[in-house]
Structure 1
Amino acid sequence: MIRTFLLERISWIVFFVVLQVLSLFLALVDQTVSLSSALYYVFLSCILMVIFLFIRYRKETPFYAEMKERDNDLDLTTFPEADSPFESVVETNVREQIDRLKQELSRNQNLLEEEKDDLLSWIHEVKTPMTAMRLIIDRIDDYKLKSQLTFEWMRIDLLLDQQLHQKRIPFIENDLYIEEVELEPLLVDEIKSLRSWCMQKGIGFDIDLQVEQVLSDAKWLAFILRQLMTNAIKYSEQSDITLTSFEKSGRTHLLIKDHGRGIDPRDLPRIFEKGFTSTTDHQHAAATGMGLYLADRIRQAMKIQIEVASKLGGGTTFTLIFPNQNEFTKLRSM
């Protein structure tokens, strides 16, 4: 802060030095002025200048030091009190800006809440005709037509489900209910919902669960599994997807392994980024790049680790590593 203060007052200091040099110059050119007297004057002036700068430093810097150290938030209670006209100008201006920003923030939050509520309401409204459409599709006798319509219905349902969970993610902490979840029924339900797509692509599932229960939230875990399984189905053809669970180092591991085209090594660090699809395959124009992004957001709140191993042409393996009871106990106590 001392260096900043001196830099701010550099014009004063330069002006003072010029005056002292001028007084010495006059003592040299004017014989009536004693050089020793001029030097004595310069010496006293320097002492007074140092004292003056010290006093001004003690008086002016506390306000700006507090400004520098305060958190960059909209809390006006931490704002330092002004002690000079210039500080009052700064304080008034900043307070007015913060008040305006708080009003805009409140207004935008209300608009976002309204938009979220409207979208959630719309999604729930759409679910009704979607259910009716599914019942109508089930009554169709033409197998080929029924399969095509079921697949398109499933795509719409998955997109609606993504939107629904995306809007709920900011409030996931209030919605989590951690319990012992049975893996097999959860996996079977998700496979059934994707059955038409799997039949269309000739994909089967091989389930081998050495550990049948995990500590998690059933609803949000189902969404994560749905995104990983749809991702595996999307990039696989005429092959099986393996679902395996086992315990390692006291934690449950769940593997979702496909034998599809795999992921380019340069894409691996980016697959969980919002909107990222692929740098090598642009044929899947319907891909939104949201599925893995949302799965990653949710798994963070649930303290689940996701590891990815992939090889071009050799398939991809997603590994979910679940927390144990002790880890959840520590999180609740923090």
Structure 2
Amino acid sequence: MEKNRKWQTAGEVWKENAEFFVALLFFDCFSFLCLWLLDNRKSGKLAAIFVLFTGVIFVFLFLNKLKKKKKKFLYFQELLSDRNHLNRELNTDVLSFEEKWIIEKLREKIEDIEVEKKDKVLALQQQQEYVETWVHEIKTPISWLTLMLENREDEMSPKVYQKLQYMNVQLQEYVSQILYFSRLSYEHKREVMEWVSLRECIEYVLEEYEYLLTENGISIAKDLKIKEIFTDRKNLEFILSQAVSNSIQYRKEEKGQIIFSSYENGEKLCLCIEDNGKGVSEVDLPFVFEKGFTGSNGQENKKSTGIGLYLVKKLAENMKLVCSAKNREAGGFRLIIEFPKVEKEEIV
């Protein structure tokens, strides 16, 4: 590698000074012609002297420029090895005026970029703080609404109670989406990895959607061959909640069903959430995880945002998980999350 770089440097020196070396060769040829015209008998000896002298000059100039090129390369290497080196005084013995001017302009550009970056980071931090504060504040009226629905159902008409229950679930879902969306840009992630019971996580999410599941006549089935997974509980619960929400939203008119299953697949542990709903058209299937994509089903359902599965995919990527989606052969949608197999003995 070092040898190739030396030959490359020599080639660059030749290209940069080719015009000078060619001019030197033409000068020699012209001198030979003049000597031959003046004295044909002595022209041979003088020509040999000229050739020798020109060769010495050529080798000396070439090696000198090669040395300067190498010195300049090492200087740039040192200059770029540390950000602080760019702020020190430039070595005018190594750099030409043009190179010095370019570096000065690069310094100014880097400083402008760093100032702009700091402003963006500050604005992002302020936005994240505002979102978290807003989420914290909005939970109070949502809690009051939940409490009212639990204790004063008999004071409301069935229609009003149904609408308020639906609004309550939707509000909680939207708040969770906003919170997780804002956390995607966090430099330091907040995952708390632990052994999590899949059954407990599923039951917790189903409890949150209990009213909508019951109201829409959706039954639940579980086939959990894997009981525990090493992951972040809150992120897993969010992923499950988005899957359940999609199954409710895109259910068919007849009796719906959501099936939770877990199984081992080679070196992976798979968690599968599937339903017997409308499914996704084959044309839309490759894009279901894209932000804002709602597809043909979303056109029918005006309340679709195209954010849920996007957040699921991003959360999975942050936790180094594999997330995929496909249609069931019997009709419906299947979401599969693949976890790495971890033995309890490996966790210290």
Identical columns (%):
24
Residue 333 (structure 2) pairs with residue 323 (structure 1): no
Contact map agreement 1:5 1:61 (CA 8 A) in 2: no
Structure 2 Cα separation of the partners of residues 66 and 240 of structure 1 = 69
The reply to whether residue 129 of structure 1 matches residue 137 of structure 2 is no
After superposition, the C-alpha distances for 1:144-181 in whole angstroms (9 at most, x for unaligned) are 22212322332232121111122234448652222222
Counterpart of 1:60 in structure 2 is: 69
**So what's the TM-score if we normalise by structure 1?**
0.80
Which amino acid in the other structure matches residue 159 of structure 2? Answer: K
Distance 1:74 1:182 in 2: 48
Query: 1:41 is matched with which residue?
Result: 50
Whole-angstrom CA distance in 1 between matches of 2:129 and 2:264: 41
Alpha-carbon distance between aligned partners in 2 of 1:328 and 1:174, rounded to the nearest angstrom: 25
Partner Cα distance (1:126, 1:24) in 2: 90
In 2, distance between residues paired with 1:137 and 1:78?
Answer: 64
Who is 2:239 aligned against?
224
For structure 1, the 5+ residue unaligned runs are none
Partner of 1:98: 110
Work out the CA distance in 2 between the residues paired with 1:172 and 1:76.
24
Amino acid at match of 1:32: L
Counterpart in the other structure of 2:181: 166
2:157 matched to which residue of 1? Answer: 142
Say if 2:90 is the partner of 1:75: no
How many Å apart are 1:84 and its aligned residue?
2.2
| Structure 1 residues 41-100: Cα deviation after superposition (integer angstroms, max 9, x where no partner) | 3553244234313322222244446757998x9833599974524244444333343333
For 2:71 and 2:297, the matched residues in 1 are separated by 57
Q: Is the 8 A contact 1:24 1:39 kept in 2?
A: no
Q: Secondary structure at 1:282's aligned position in 2?
A: helix
Correspondent of 2:38 among 15, 32, 35? 32
The alignment partner of 1:18 has SS state of: helix
Q: Does 1:119 align with 2:126?
A: no
Alignment partner, residue 277 of structure 2: 260
Moved more, 321-330 or 230-239: 321-330
- 2-structure distance, mates of 1:66, 1:243: 62
User: Compared with structure 1, are the counterparts of its residues 98 and 234 closer, same or farther at alpha carbon in structure 2 (3 Å cutoff)?
Assistant: same
Q: Secondary structure at the match of 1:175?
A: coil
Which one of the candidate residues 196, 202, 210 is aligned to 2:225? 210
Distance 1:11 1:137, change over 3 A: same
Is residue 308 from structure 1 mapped to residue 345 from structure 2 by the alignment?
no
1:150-189 matches, within 5 Å, as 150-171=165-186, 174-189=189-204
Q: 1:12 to 1:324 in 2, by over 3 A?
A: closer
Paired AA for residue 57 in structure 1: L
Q: Which consecutive unaligned segments of at least 5 residues does structure 2 have?
A: none
Cα distance change, pair 274–43 in 1 and its aligned pair in 2 (3 A): farther
- Over aligned residue pairs, what C-alpha RMSD do you find? 3.6
Q: 45-54 vs 160-169, which deviates more? A: 45-54
Tell me the TM-score normalised to structure 2 length.
0.78
SS at match of 2:317: helix
